[in-house]
Every structure is written in structure tokens, then in C-alpha cells.
């Protein structure tokens, strides 16, 4: 299994399932659930930072490399584990792939997925401290100018907020099971102070998540709008098909976003795992890493991503 920064907390749960003969889909879901429950991660699940209106809106997706089936949810409130709703969409609602907002929550209730509080006191404190009240009022009142003004402030806040333990962020988990099946899971609370209803790449198959047993699995973290515009996860696999190794494939896919006009530019990362167990990652930021653990290893190791 491999995981993006702060996904390492979930690897033990996924590896345990793989050792017991579990599927890549089960391992990915189990690992992502651990990250979603980690209140110290303010970009995923419980403890995620809220949107402009103070509501935690979660996005997630999961994709099965054997069938190219996927499930995704976006803008979900009141459920700590959006990855499990995405998995249920994949398994139980196969005529659909992506559910949003109230529809996703209705389906989660029907599927028996527990509701729970996602806004922690610490996340609310960080949210309240983040923006000038006038910017919030301006963004509430207008589309366009007000939205742009608040996004500028939000970006400055995000850049100033790196906690001492390392980068915060969306989580990617990729698994290869004993039968050779690959799966990819992604989960996020998106940008702090995001405009309500904003959906990033984590819920968008081809952008933040893609998986095909014949080629590999790929996933993204960081500036989701860039990954959506460039189809970054799918592009990683196109580069693998062209003969690149996983690290070079990630670097080439991320590099395709560098020239895109974007006044809110932030870092973008990609990860890749191939059916023969090779892996690699790339980032536009320095010092970016990912974690790797095999079923015969007691713990994970941290690898560097290529910086582009």
C-alpha cells in the first residue's frame, strides 16, 4: 500500500486486512477511515476545516482497478466517513457513480452508514480565526468580486497555517492485493473557507482518482481545480502506458498543470502504484513525501516525491 502525507496513520489497518486475504478495496476503505477519524488532520473527515459558512463539507471517492467501477460523494455533511458512502455507491448503486449533498446523505442513511459530528472545537477555532469578518460578509453577499476577495484571504491563511508536524492535506491511499487487484481511495474536506458547494478533484474520477489493473492506480492531493482541469490522475496512467516509470509519470502529469493560468495557485501532488508493485510520486512543492508498506513489513517507510 502507499499513502499520501498523513495517510500513513491508516496503513496498518489496511495491511492487516491484506494479510488476512482482504481485497484492495477493503484495505483502501479501512485505511481511509482511520485518516477520516484522525481529528489532528484538518483536511480530512472529522476535524476537517469548514466552508465559508462554518459547515464541514466532505468529498471522497474509491475506484476498483478490476472493474473500473467507482463510487464518489461530494459536499456531504454530518457523516464522518464519506469514503464508506462512496464505497456503498460503488457496490450498491452501480447505475450511479457520484452523489452530492442531500442525495448522498439520504443514500447514506438508507445504506445504514452512521451519522456523526464532524466539526471539532479545534477546527471551529481555526476557522473563526481565519478570515476577517468583512470578507466573510462580502463573500456571503456577492458572487464574483466578494468571492475572489475572500479566496485571496483564504489562500494566504492556508499558506500561513502549516502545523509543526508537517503538511495538512487530502488523503490518497492506493492498494495492491494478493490477487493483483488495485484500488484507490481519496478523501478530503477541501479548502478551508471554501465557497459552499465547492467540489474538488477528490470526488472526480479521472482528476483526483483513477485505477485500472492493466495500467496502475493514481491519485492527487493539493490544488484540486488544477487536477480537474488537467485530468491529472488519468494522465498519470497515460504516461505509464507511454512507458514512463511511476515517478516520471506523476512528474509529467503534474507538469502539465504548470502553465495553466491560475491566480490561486497552490501545490499539486500525484501518486502512482503499478500492478507489479512499483510506485512513485511527484509534487510542485519541495520536501513532499509519501508512505509505503508491504504486507511483510512491520511498519511504513517514507519516500520522497520528485519535485518539479
Looking at beta carbons only, is 181 or 187 nearer to ligand GLY?
Answer: 187
Nearest-approach distance from CB 290 to ligand GLY, in angstroms: 15
How far is Cα 57 from Cα 79, in angstroms, rounded to an integer? 9
Region from 63-71, 112-120, 197-205, 256-264 binding ligand GLY, contact rule CB under 6 A: 197-205
Residues 6+ apart with CB under 8 A from 26: 17
Nearest-approach distance from CB 142 to ligand GLY, in angstroms: 23
Contact status: 188 vs ligand GLY (CB under 6 A): yes
The distance in angstroms from the start CA to the end CA of the chain is: 24
The alpha carbon of residue 104 and the mean position of all alpha carbons in its chain are separated, in whole angstroms, by 18
Looking at beta carbons only, is 213 or 269 nearer to ligand GLY?
Answer: 269
**Per-residue binder mask for ligand GLY (CB under 6 A), 137-176, x = binder:** ---------------------------------x------
Residues 6+ apart with CB under 8 A from 238: 253
The single residue of 170, 232, 235, 274 carrying the catalytic annotation is 170
Looking at beta carbons only, is 23 or 51 nearer to ligand GLY?
Answer: 51
DSSP-based three-state secondary structure for 95: coil
Calculate Rg over the CA atoms of the chain.
18
Q: Are 1 and 15 in contact (CB under 8 A)?
A: yes
Nearest-approach distance from CB 123 to ligand GLY, in angstroms: 16
How far is Cα 292 from Cα 259, in angstroms, rounded to an integer? 31
Looking at beta carbons only, is 172 or 291 nearer to ligand GLY?
Answer: 172
Helices (H), 64-144: 82-92, 101-110, 121-130, 133-141
Region from 4-12, 64-72, 216-224, 236-244 binding ligand GLY, contact rule CB under 6 A: 216-224
179 labelled catalytic: no
Q: Which of residues 220-249 bind ligand GLY (CB under 6 A)?
A: 221-222, 224
In the chain, what are the helix, strand and coil shares in percent, each to the nearest 5? 35, 20, 40
Region from 60-68, 77-85, 114-122, 218-226 binding ligand GLY, contact rule CB under 6 A: 218-226
Nearest-approach distance from CB 20 to ligand GLY, in angstroms: 31
All cell numbers assigned to 216: 496502475
Nearest-approach distance from CB 241 to ligand GLY, in angstroms: 24
Looking at beta carbons only, is 109 or 147 nearer to ligand GLY?
Answer: 147
Q: Which of 14, 200, 216, 246 binds ligand GLY (CB under 6 A)?
A: 200
Q: In b/e form, how buried is each residue of 205-231, taking b as 16+ CB within 10 angstroms?
A: bbbbbbbbbebbbbbbbbbbbbbbbbb
Q: Which of 202, 267, 283, 291 binds ligand GLY (CB under 6 A)?
A: 202
Q: Are 203 and 58 in contact (CB under 8 A)?
A: no
Q: Are 107 and 32 in contact (CB under 8 A)?
A: no
Looking at beta carbons only, is 217 or 222 nearer to ligand GLY?
Answer: 222
Nearest-approach distance from CB 255 to ligand GLY, in angstroms: 17
Catalytically annotated residues:
170
- Which residue ranges make up the site for ligand GLY (CB under 6 A)? 170, 188, 190, 200-202, 208, 221-222, 224
Amino acid at each position: 500500500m502507499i499513502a499520501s502525507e498523513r495517510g500513513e496513520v491508516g496503513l496498518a489497518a489496511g495491511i492487516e486486512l491484506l494479510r488476512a486475504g482482504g481485497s484492495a478495496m477493503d484495505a483502501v476503505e479501512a485505511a481511509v477511515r482511520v485518516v477520516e477519524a484522525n481529528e489532528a488532520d484538518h483536511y480530512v473527515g472529522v476535524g476537517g476545516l469548514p466552508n465559508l459558512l462554518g459547515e464541514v463539507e466532505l468529498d471522497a471517492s474509491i475506484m476498483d482497478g478490476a472493474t473500473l467501477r467507482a463510487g464518489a460523494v461530494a459536499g456531504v455533511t454530518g457523516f464522518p466517513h464519506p469514503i464508506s458512502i462512496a464505497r456503498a455507491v460503488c457496490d450498491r448503486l452501480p447505475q450511479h457513480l457520484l452523489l452530492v449533498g442531500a442525495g448522498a446523505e439520504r443514500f447514506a442513511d438508507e445504506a445504514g452508514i452512521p451519522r456523526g459530528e464532524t466539526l471539532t472545537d479545534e477546527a471551529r477555532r481555526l476557522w473563526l480565526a481565519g478570515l476577517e469578518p468583512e470578507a466573510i460578509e462580502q463573500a456571503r453577499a456577492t458572487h464574483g468580486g466578494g468571492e475572489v476577495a475572500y479566496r485571496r484571504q483564504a489562500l494566504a491563511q492556508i499558506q500561513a497555517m502549516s502545523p509543526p508536524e508537517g503538511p495538512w492535506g487530502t488523503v490518497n491511499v492506493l492498494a495492491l492485493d494478493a490477487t493483483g487487484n488495485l484500488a484507490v481511495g481519496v478523501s478530503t474536506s477541501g479548502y478551508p473557507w471554501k465557497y459552499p458547494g465547492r467540489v474538488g478533484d477528490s470526488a472526480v474520477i479521472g482528476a483526483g482518482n483513477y485505477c485500472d489493473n492493466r495500467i496502475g492506480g493514481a491519485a492527487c492531493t493539493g490544488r484540486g481545480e488544477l487536477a480537474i482541469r488537467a485530468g491529472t490522475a488519468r494522465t498519470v496512467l497515460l504516461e505509464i502506458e507511454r512507458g514512463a516509470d511511476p515517478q516520471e509519470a506523476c512528474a509529467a502529469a503534474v507538469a502539465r498543470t504548470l502553465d495553466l493560468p491560475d491566480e490561486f495557485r497552490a501545490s499539486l501532488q500525484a501518486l502512482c502504484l503499478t500492478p507489479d508493485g512499483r510506485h512513485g510520486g511527484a509534487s510542485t512543492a519541495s520536501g513532499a513525501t509519501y508512505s509505503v508498506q508491504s504486507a511483510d513489513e512491520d511498519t511504513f517507510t517514507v519516500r520522497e516525491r520528485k519535485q518539479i
